[in-house]
Amino acid sequence: MERGNHTVTEFILLGFTADPVMQQVLFVLFLGVYSATLLGNNILIMLICNDVRLHTPMYFFIGNLSFLDLWLSSVYTPKILVTCISEDKSISFAGCVAQFFFSAGLDYSECYLLATMAYDRYMAISKPLLYAQAMPMKLCVFLIAACYLGGFTNSSIITKKTFSFDFCNDNVIDDFFCDLLPLVKLACGRNEGTQALMFFLLTSNVITPLALILASYLFIIAAILRIRSTQGRRKAFSTCSSHLISVTLYYGSILYIYSRPSSSYSLERDKIVSTFYTVLFPMLNPLIYSLRNKDVKEALNKLFK
């Protein structure tokens, strides 16, 4: 990879606070969240793999969402934990590149996966009797592969662009991980390429998948309105409610950070919001897709029995 200023060999992650007591509190908090994330997502993946009733396209996509959340949380949280309890806040240039690349690739893949899940829900509601034929496993595997390929291809492009900037010998990142906005703020002569980079990021990885999700839900609403019985409409809507919650929480936090004009950026405020989709959201997904799902709850009861 082309590097900008070769004098920058490492970055310093300031994290959330310099107060030693608060750092210990945050360590316990993030450790609890990370443990719950690992436990919840692993249990959900195990249920989907072991219970035959969950061998459907919908649960296949949910299982891949849990897989993404496992690795996404593991990209961020271990470094956060080390930063909280260690006086060494540094991360090497190569480590920062790797963290940026994998976090971006997993995030973008999740954006595409949420759009794929919206299409899956549309097919399940609009063609319930032909759902198995409309969403064969070969198609599901192809869609998942396309999500990963698109996510990591875009991540490669953005990572190369970001780390080709000159960093002006300033290596202090006012954040808890190597993210785009803090890195762009460190770069020299960034104005020329920053806006194009942001536009590419938002269009290809956030706005386009979100537009596909909104289009899918317009067709879903039209299909639900064609259902005559109230019970049938309620059942059809309930199959989409968990996905709607995930989309709202995930895209809400991302759009808040990346869709605002550069003049309104606040790294302190953005750190709190980015914590939600990087650390808390991977923990919430298993709860969203299990507490509101009868099949998953039955599979969980069967496992404990």
**Token duo for residue 132:** 């198995």
Q: Which residue has the higher pLDDT, 24 or 113?
A: 113
Helices marked H in the chain:
20-50, 57-85, 93-126, 131-134, 137-162, 180-186, 191-202, 208-225, 230-258, 267-275, 281-291, 294-304
**Token duo for residue 182:** 């803090």
pLDDT digits (tens, 9 = 90+) for 125-135: 888 888 888 89
**Token duo for residue 265:** 């950026």
- 3-class DSSP state of 173: strand
Confidence of residue 259 (pLDDT cuts 50, 70, 90): low
Strands lying side by side in the sheet with 90-92: 90-92, 10-13, 172-173
pLDDT, residue 5, reads 44
pLDDT, residue 202, reads 66
pLDDT digits (tens, 9 = 90+) for 183-220: 877 777 655 566 676 667 767 788 889 899 999 999 98
Contact 282, 41 (CB under 8 A): yes
**Token duo for residue 278:** 């990087």
pLDDT, residue 260, reads 61
- The predicted model scores a pTM of 0.88
**Least confident window among 108-122, 137-151, 244-258:** 244-258
Contact 159, 136 (CB under 8 A): no
Q: Classify 17 in phi/psi space as left (phi over 0), alpha (psi -120 to 50) or beta.
A: beta
**Distance from CA of residue 107 to its chain's centroid?**
4
Output DSSP code: residue 164: T
Pick from 245, 240, 248: which is nearest to 223 by CA?
240
**What are the sequence ranges of the domains in the chain?**
10-304
Q: How many CB atoms lie within 10 A of CB 65?
A: 26
Q: Which CATH number fits domain 10-304: 1.10.3720.10, 3.30.420.40, 3.30.530.20, 1.20.1070.10?
A: 1.20.1070.10
Strands 172-173 and 90-92: unpaired
pLDDT, residue 190, reads 57
Length of the chain: 305
> Could you give the percent of the chain with pLDDT greater than 90?
26
pLDDT, residue 265, reads 57
Give the integer Cα–Cα distance in Å for 184 and 270: 14
**Token duo for residue 19:** 């107060």
